[in-house]
Copies of this chain bind each other. A is one copy, B any other.
Amino acid sequence: MVTLINVFTVDPGNQERLIDLLTRATEDFVSRAPGFLSATLHRSLDGRKVTMYAQWQSIEDYEAMRRDPGSRPFLEEALTFAQFEPGMYSVVRSFAPVGA
């Protein structure tokens, strides 16, 4: 399993537009791709970031989706008004509350 944490930076006036675009991209395209497991979309409280946290069965599945021409219009539109910092991760471990 691989975790993608992709941080988009925008002007606060464009945060809602980016959220709409990433919602459409995920509903219409990404969530139908082989190997897609889950995704959660986040809006930063300061209005300047939108972050997608997603899990895929493998890097190959994620890269196949990114190579598919169907994904290109969404990312190209996003890059006209947002910056994109991608990250590909494995989970080290999780922590639960202790005490209290």
Which A residues are within 8 Å of any B CB, using their own CB? Answer: 2-3, 5, 7, 19, 23, 26-27, 30-32, 34, 36-46, 49, 51, 53, 59, 85, 87-100
B53 contacts A23, C-beta separation under 8 Å: no
Please tell me how many copies of the chain the complex holds: 2
CB distance A44 to B93 under 8 Å? no
A41-B88 in contact (CB<8A) = no
**Residues of B contacting A5 with CB < 8 Å?**
5, 7, 42, 51, 53
Q: Identify the closest chain B residue to A42 (Cβ).
A: B89
Q: A3-B42, A5-B5 are in contact. List 15 more A-B contacts (CB 8 A).
A: A2-B45, A7-B7, A7-B85, A19-B92, A31-B95, A32-B98, A38-B96, A40-B94, A41-B94, A43-B89, A43-B92, A44-B89, A45-B59, A45-B88, A51-B87
